[in-house]
Amino acid sequence: MIGNEAPVTLIAISAMLSYDNVDMKFADGERVHFIDRKGRQYPLTLCSGKVFQFSGEKIPHDDIIGQEDGTTVTLSRGSKFIVLKPTLSEYILKMPRGAQVIYPKDIGMILISGDIYPAARVVEAGIGSGALTMALLRAVGERGVVISYEIREDFSKRAQENIQLYNGKTNNLIIREQDICNGIGEEGVDRVILDLPEPWRVVPHAVQSLREGGIFLCYLPTILQVSTVVRALKESGNFIHIETSETLVRTWHVEDNSVRPDHRMVAHTGFITTARKVAV
């Protein structure tokens, strides 16, 4: 405790908590997940006047709108479900997809390897289904901006729908329906984050666009692609700390007499390569 300052800090925290509580009620138009006894998740977008039907049972959406996050509801024949606001990773895994999304384990790693921070200016390509974009938007916060390049109009539209359903009104996203290989319009950006097949074609543009000390990051499924992009980064002469990693996450089965790794895991998704731009 530091002198008289401690009580002020406590008041600030309690004000924050009560503000958050107001937000924790389900609203019309919000995405929720129904959780059954076995922990399986069923997504639903709440819409006043509609009825949720499940295996011959029903519940009006209006019985859920206005309830608290984590509430238990009973359907017409007695089945009970817990209703939750999905976490970002739960939402991503159940949302409609155009392009393949980046899995949460890799998104987590991208945020820390790419050092995405509040108020950062981030250029991203492509937007795909918007999974990574949502995590970037959250990390840069309202004072930051994500500028997302995407060549396919249908993916851009789907991604915007996905982002809006989870985030509501989004003021920190700019979408450019352009090929990033033709150039990056923004200068002095903090991070360039790429999830597309030929990131080496973007390296010269990233050099122009990134500020000194900025970070280039790309996510690639095969090591031959990694080798090509690393060569391009080295040949450009503008980057140091060129590093590549993959992220393996193994879940565990924990029961009374059986505590062991799960039998199945996602073995391979992609490699993350990062590099730091410096003045030469």
Question: Applying CB under 6 A, which residues contact ligand SAH?
Answer: 99-102, 125-126, 128-132, 149-152, 155, 179-181, 195-196
Question: Judged by CB, which is closer to ligand SAH: 121, or 158?
Answer: 158
State in angstroms the smallest separation of the CB of 92 from ligand SAH: 8
CB nearer to ligand SAH: pick between 44 and 146: 146
CB of 251 to ligand SAH, least distance (A): 21
Q: Compare residues 157 and 276 and give the one whose CB is closer to ligand SAH.
A: 157
SS (H, E, C) the chain: CCCCHHHHHHHHHHHHHHHHHHHCECCCCCEEEEECCCCCEEEEECCCCCEEEECCEEEEHHHCCCCECCEEEECCCCCEEEEECCCHHHHHHHCCCCCCCCCHHHHHHHHHHCCCCCCCEEEEECCCCCHHHHHHHHHHCCCCEEEEECCCHHHHHHHHHHHHHHHCCCCCEEEECCCHHHCCCCCCEEEEEECCCCHHHCHHHHHHHEEEEEEEEEEECCHHHHHHHHHHHHHHCCEEEEEEEECCCCCEEEECCEEEECCCCCCCCCEEEEEEECCC
Cβ at position 196, least distance to ligand SAH in Å: 4
Rounded to the nearest whole angstrom, what is the least distance from the CB of residue 188 to ligand SAH in the complex? 21
Q: Which is nearer to ligand SAH, 197 or 261 (CB)?
A: 197
